[in-house]
Structure 1
């Protein structure tokens, strides 16, 4: 009878223990799912939440877009579209301060206006330490498009405001929030282990007290006495063939898993951040000063490679800015020696893989951050994406093609829609064929 009571209590306890584990696991998964949903809500892959005020343009949107491209490729190094002074003055409201004819002359050839003795031109020249603005071979229409862009207010960046759920626009929250979820799960697991240990200790204490009570206050028959006072032989555990087999199996599985992880990681340099010969900060240049990627990487929209900027591009600004900086002095020395700056390559693809920047940036409209991550937030650039074949193929399978207004795709889209309900993606156009990247 006593043995039955003990067995029944043991079953009830372990059933309770199992229910506790299941409930804790379900609670942890539910909380993780909720937090991950909050972390990624409203954030699309490869993009960060921005704080740019996209004012409705008063002029032709096509003209404003053309002016934006010209401004970002030529003017943004020295001027902001707002009120911030970089090298030259901020240009917000410039169309109200100066007439269009004067601005066209100034932008196309400022030195000619200064030499002619124009009072406004000379005053600006003197105000900004007689730094000469380069002349631009723009047509009048191109200058007008730049002015239309400035007037539209499209390039003015507003102060960050608190977004929903306490997230500040512009904050790269995705991976950090998901990492926080992982930390939360670790805490839950530690708490769960502590609770289990406490329960086991409590069970052992209760068993010990019950055993002592029965030995002192009850006359036990031979069978009950054997059950109550039985000794657990630990040697039977490690001598058991089943236990030994299980231990060996676990060891083999762990070793195999570690081996596969190491083998599959060969050639993957995600997170690689080498030290460069000059401490160049993308956060300062592309982030704070909003210099367009195309200004330094001049072939990113036109060629297979994005090109590494020459020292001459650096000197467009640094012939006037921070000339005394030790890092800038390294550029001067490279020019004096007529030797290129030996930048360390970060993003490496194997020779057997073909990749074309212009095909992605110009034709596909892929943003730099899609592959390179929040580059405008990096003081030291690192490899953000794994750049594996599987990663590329997943992107080709999920990215829809913009086929509107392009007759080349009409028949292909028609055939695709007749046989598939999904979107017309890069994969639908042969983007996952081996010869697409390997030929």
Structure 2
């Protein structure tokens, strides 16, 4: 009797424990709705997912609206995001169906993602699902305001200057013609000796051109202009502003970064964690072009070059555009990940460029000027707390990069 009682009690205890565990598990899997989680999720989505997915539109992968209801479970989503290949290889029916439906394209594995990162992404997707579909990429190209030119462009000024010189020469020729005609007219009149002396003055264009003063002025102007040209040439050594070489594949940033809003960090993977932003590998291109074979202005032939390079297991020989001398040290991660500098700050409106060009000077003076003008991004970074305190004790202005050693030679030079 006591044994049966204890057995029944254990069953009840196990049932209650299981119920509590399931309830706690369900609660822990609830998608967050806090604005901070949604904002963090959007940032992760834009940097990692947006190249292949949209919330309300099928792209390389499926539309993600309501994915948390369609998928087998939240835990399944976490496993699939972290290692989709393993889930497919396990024979999971839902994963295999997705794999076959999307042309057997394997999703990039994000093994570095924490569970909270994935939950934040789901929070963003849920928020966008509730808002409903808006304007989708491809329906209308996004217009991004680029830097506006101030004043009259240099080309127009040059044309205007040449035009003024031509007009001046014409006026001199007309004036010389009028003087010559006037002299011939006056020679036919009865003039006094004084009047003849004025008309036939020894100061002529020929005497002026052969005078020492005129020769000195001309020589000085020619020498000054030549010296200025030499100085300008020396200052332009190593400066490639506007350099836009022809690439082996006609890749358009205007389509990828502009129209389809693919985040720069998705392709240039080193920008958040290393000195170099890195050039995208063929594998990154094939994440999308396993399925996208046409539909871009570059044409089928350009995409075929990517596929050919992938099949032959060889890199695409992209021509480097932005080069710094070996004696200069620049770290992308420090500027992008820590300082929060946008790519367009240095590289210009890349999202508007069919052919990428060097937008900025990238000279020492250009960097120093930026360090003198830029406020240090100290928000949420305890590393700067003491520095901010010391700076505020001595100055009322914002703390600039130069205030924390941004102009020290050893910061950029080995």
Query: So what's the TM-score if we normalise by structure 1?
Result: 0.68
Which residue pairs with 2:326 in the alignment? 351
Q: How does 1:227-306 map to 2 (within 5 A)?
A: 227-230=198-201, 232-306=203-277
Q: Residue by residue, what CA displacement relative to the aligned partner does 1:373-421 show, whole Å, maximum 9, x if unpaired?
A: 2222222222222211111111111111123454543454455456556
After TM superposition, give the deviation of residue 231 of structure 1 in Å.
Answer: 5.0
Q: Secondary structure of 2:48's partner?
A: helix
Pair 1:156–1:266, CA change in 2 (3 A): farther
In 1, Cα distance between the equivalents of 2:132 and 2:211? 75
SS in structure 2 of the partner of residue 256 of structure 1: helix
Hey, what's the Cα distance between the residues in 2 that align with 1:342 and 1:302?
Answer: 24
Cα distance in 2 for residues equivalent to 1:270 and 1:342? 22
* C-alpha distance in 1 between matches for 2:310 and 2:213: 73
CA deviation profile, 1:319-361 (whole Å, cap 9, x unmatched): 2221894444444444444433333322111111111110000
Match of 1:181 in 2: 153
Which stretch shifts more, 284-293 or 196-205? 196-205
| In the alignment, structure 1 residue 141 sits paired with structure 2 residue 119 | yes
Match of 2:316 among 323, 332, 341: 341
Q: Secondary structure at the match of 2:270?
A: coil
Q: Structure 1 residues 157, 247: CA separation in 2 closer, same or farther (over 3 Å shift)?
A: farther
C-alpha deviation, 1:135, in angstroms: 7.1
Q: Is the 8 A contact 1:79 1:88 kept in 2?
A: yes
Number of residue pairs the alignment of both structures matches = 365
Counterpart position of 2:8: none
User: Post-superposition shift, 1:87?
Assistant: 2.3
Query: 1:223–1:412: structure 2 CA closer, same or farther, 3 Å change rule?
Result: farther
Q: Tell me: CA distance 1:155–1:384, structure 2 relative to 1, closer, same or farther (3 Å).
A: farther
- Work out whether residues 304 and 358 of structure 1, in 8 Å CA contact, stay in contact via their aligned partners in 2: yes
Deviation string 1:304-325 (CA, Å, 9 cap, x unpaired) is 1112222222222222221894
Listed as ranges, the matches of 1:26-425 within 5 Å are: 60-81=34-55, 83=57, 85-88=58-61, 90=63, 94-95=65-66, 99=69, 104=74, 107-108=77-78, 109=80, 139=115, 141-148=119-126, 150-151=128-129, 170-172=144-146, 174-175=148-149, 181-186=153-158, 188-189=160-161, 192-193=164-165, 196=168, 220-230=191-201, 232-322=203-293, 325-417=300-392, 422-425=397-400
Q: Judging changes above 3 Å, is the alpha-carbon distance between structure 1 residues 404 and 295 closer, same or farther for their aligned structure 2 residues?
A: closer
Out of 358-367 and 202-211, give the one that drifted further.
Answer: 202-211
